Amino acid sequence: MTDACPPRPWWKDAIFYQIYPRSFQDSNGDGIGDIPGIISRLDEIAALGVTALWLSPLYCSPDADNGYDIADYCDIDPRYGNLADFDHLVAEAAKREIKIIMDLIINHTSSEHRWFQASRRGEEPYRDYYIWREAKENGDPPNNWTSFFMGSTWEWDDQRQAYYLHLFDAQQPDLNYDNPAVIEEVKQVLRFWLDRGVAGFRCDVINLLHKTSFDDGRGGPILRGIEHYQTQLGTHRILQELRREVWEPYGAFTVGESFGVNLPEAQALTNPDPGELDVVFYFDHLEVDRIINRYGPKPFSAAKLMERLTTWQHGLDWNALYLENHDQPRIVSHYGDDKKYWARSANLLATMLLTLRGTPFLYQGQEIGMTNFDYTSFDQLDDVESFNVAALMKRFGLPRGLRWRLIRQASRDNARTPVQWDSWPGAGFTTGKPWLAINANATWLNYAAQDSDPHSVLNFYRRLIRLRRSCPTLLEGGFEPLYADRALMIYRRTPVDGSADPAYTIWLNFSGRTVKLPKAWLEASLTDARADAGPSCVVSNSGRHSLKGVLLPWEAVIIREGPPLAEGTEGTDES
């Protein structure tokens, strides 16, 4: 490798898998997933073709926001195990050539963190670790900002006789990034975990760190004031410092969850010069059918999805790819059909995720097509955001039935139900009472039922991942949008210079109807023959190899252009 061409970073060829520990695998019957449970499932994870794990928070936390409220950055919450268990996990993962990245939540801590407790008492050096402001003359909060979890972003503290800022829950006070001591503390935390062998971090709401001003916000009731702290110059400077002083020297990978980020901001956040983050998680590809964030459904359009994906595929040379995480509804329920065409639509979504350019991130249970929860009322929920959004809807006069319908399709609990490993009570997740109810469909929708079924969603993912890793075009090739309308999405992955691997065209029908391929477009850009590729059809989620001018409901096909594959080359059929 010449100096001019730096070695290809490991994370460009990685397949990441996010584990939400409390819902992944319980080992001691207390109904909460834990580190020994994760270790016991590493072979299943390796069998999927995963090469890196993102662990959602394992740190000590009072669980105001399920671990995203950290009370001690350098210890494992006893419910998940201890540091020895963590070291054992890192070692066992390494034996399977699986790297580990941690969830880094540094915009805020838990109000139970010793820093905050000392800050409330006005004790140095912690007095200004957080953002304290006096009340207005009339006792009101310092400004009109509103929280991600609804309500004011300011909480009055009797001990300190002042308000403190919290963009999220009142038990998640924001750290003060105008204080160099805070940044030094963060560097210590990073080094602590990097020295334990982690390979990088998923950085939580990392584009919100620096608040440029505390003037009133101009917007409506949702996230009023965000213009004062979203992706500000100060945040870029902090990330450049962390990169320069810690991430670069350690060679640590960073993916930054960047709420509301647009393409120019993402380009700045991931620009290698001067260097901040490696890749980002953006959101707008998951909000094609949403009015605000994950709420307020509107009709889906494959053309709109293609437009947004194309913006990001062309706007960044490389980026993270995902369809699910612990905050998002299950993608087969969101963009797919979790009833009549459950498997086929799950496989179509897998095909899209794993044929785009970038680093794919899967979320636990996505590989078996887990669906949204089957709850019927609010008292089955756990998520603080769901309760707070529902309360705001109630204040706006929405009737209970409508409130439930809106919350049900967007609640973060949809992704947090325990992983369904088998059909027994407890779904193989726990022998105790699960912390959150298990979906009743675990009786048939589970890992064990799919593991040896060649036509299962699980084996479709396994084969797609193997195919992707064997194709330079899918790994490193370009992205070329070809055609899209309300239902159809057709794009091509173009070959890498000098590679023998040809182009691949991906054909997706995001609808429950058989859809005619656009004849005019076919004749103009592709002959029917190439759309009837026969042996060059390397993936089909319907078992068909010739399109014959149509795509069946939820059909996904990958056609390898150029000379047909040798007979017997592995494709992936869900017949």
Q: Is 293 in the site for ligand ISL (CB under 6 A)?
A: yes
Q: How many residues bind Ca ion (CB under 5 A)?
A: 5
For the segment 8-47, give every residue that binds Ca ion (CB under 5 A).
Answer: 26, 28, 30, 32, 34
Q: What is the contact mask toward ligand ISL in residues 229 to 258, using x (rule: CB under 6 A)?
A: ----------------------------x-
Residue in 41, 294, 344, 462 binding ligand ISL, rule: CB under 6 A? 294
CB of 36 to Ca ion, least distance (A): 8
Beta bridge partners of 257: 281
* Nearest to 413, CA basis, from 17, 16, 20, 18: 20
- Interhelix angle 384-395/400-410, rounded to 10 degrees, is 150
65 touches, from Ca ion, ligand ISL, none (C-beta below 5 to 8 Å by class): ligand ISL
What is the C-alpha separation between 247 and 276, in angstroms, rounded? Answer: 9
Structure tokens at 522: 């076919």
Nearer CB in complex with ligand ISL: 157/385:
385
| From Ca ion, ligand ISL, none, interface partner of 28 (C-beta below 5 to 8 A by class) | Ca ion
**With contact defined as beta carbons under 8 Å apart, do 461 and 48 qualify?**
yes
**What are the C-alpha distances in Å from 315 to residues 243, 253, 336, 558?**
23, 21, 26, 24
Distance of CA 471 to the CA centre of its chain: 24
Residues between 411 and 450 that touch ligand ISL (CB under 6 A):
none
CA 289 to mean position of chain CA atoms: 18
Pull the structure tokens for residue 142.
Answer: 């310092």
| Closest CB to ligand ISL among residues 27, 146 | 146
Which of the choices ligand ISL, Ca ion, none does residue 205 contact, using the CB cut-off of 5 to 8 A by kind? ligand ISL
What's the min distance (Å) between Cβ of 382 and ligand ISL?
Answer: 12
- # chain residues binding ligand ISL, by CB under 6 A: 15
Q: Outline where DSSP puts E strands in 22-141.
A: 52-55, 59-60, 72-76, 99-104, 132-133
Are 404 and 377 contacting, i.e. CB atoms less than 8 angstroms apart?
yes
In which residue are the tokens 């769901």 written? 386
Q: Are 84 and 190 in contact (CB under 8 A)?
A: no
Cβ proximity to Ca ion, 11 vs 59, nearer residue: 59
Q: For residue 370, what is the DSSP state?
A: -
Taking the C-alpha atoms of residue 34 and residue 26, their distance in angstroms, rounded to an integer, is: 5
Instruction: List binders of ligand ISL among 515-574 (CB under 6 A).
Output: none
Q: Tokens standing for 481? A: 């949008």
CB of 361 to Ca ion, least distance (A): 25
Which of the residues 34, 155, 169, 204 is marked catalytic? 204
Among 54, 145, 168, 312, binds ligand ISL (CB under 6 A): 168
Distance in Å, CB of 431 to Ca ion, minimum: 10
283 interacts with ligand ISL by CB under 6 A: yes
Of positions 105, 175, 349, 539, contacts ligand ISL by CB under 6 A: 105
DSSP class of residue 518? -
Torsion of CA 331, 337, 343, 347, to 10 degrees: -50
Q: Is residue 204 flagged as an active site residue?
A: yes
Of residues 431 and 494, the one with the C-beta less far from Ca ion:
431
Q: Which residue is nearest to Ca ion (CB)?
A: 34
Catalytic residue among 257, 265, 327, 413: 257
Q: Which of the listed partners (Ca ion, ligand ISL, none) does 63 bind, with a CB threshold of 5 to 8 Å by partner kind? A: none
Catalytic residue list contains 257 = yes
- Kindly tell me the sign of the dihedral angle through the C-alpha atoms of 433, 435, 440, 443: negative
| Residues 491-498: contacts with CB under 8 Å, at least 24 apart | 491/306, 491/310, 492/561, 493/355, 493/357, 496/472
Nearer to ligand ISL, 115 or 461 (CB): 115
For residue 451, give the amino acid letter.
Answer: D
Q: Which of 284, 327, 367, 574 binds ligand ISL (CB under 6 A)?
A: 327
Instruction: Name which position in 26, 34, 63, 65 contacts ligand ISL (CB under 6 A).
Output: 65
List the interface residues with ligand ISL, window 184-223 (CB under 6 A).
Answer: 204-205
Residue 343 contact, options ligand ISL, Ca ion, none, Cβ 5-8 Å cut-off depending on partner type: none
Q: Which helix (H) or strand (E) holds 154?
A: strand 154-157
CB of 383 to ligand ISL, least distance (A): 8
User: CA-CA distance, 397 to 45, in Å (whole number)?
Assistant: 46
The pair of structure tokens assigned to 150 is 């609804």
| Site of interaction with Ca ion (CB under 5 A) | 26, 28, 30, 32, 34
Catalytic residues: 204, 257
| Site of interaction with ligand ISL (CB under 6 A) | 65, 68, 105, 148, 168, 204-205, 257, 259, 283, 293-294, 326-327, 385
